[in-house]
Amino acid sequence: MHLIYEFSGEGLEEEKLKKAIDLSQDRYCGVSAVYRKAMPLTYEVRILG
């Protein structure tokens, strides 16, 4: 499964967004944990202009 996170706003820093997503994926999102057991899970960050 490939997830696409889209963000829009002023002054967004991609590295900070990635860190927040990593924390969500690894610690806080039970759904991601279930999916990860069944299939590879990847993501990308898109910052909309």
pLDDT tens string, the chain, 49 residues long: the values are 999 999 999 999 999 999 999 999 888 888 988 999 999 999 999 999 7
What pLDDT is stored for residue 26 in this prediction? 85
The residue whose two tokens read 């997503």 is: 21
- Please choose, from the candidates 10, 31, 7, 9, the residue with its C-alpha nearest in 3D space to the C-alpha of residue 20: 7
Domains contained in the chain, number: 1
> What domain range is 11 assigned to?
2-48
C-alpha dihedral sign at 30, 36, 38, 43: positive
Number of other residues whose CB lies within 10 A of the CB of residue 34: 9
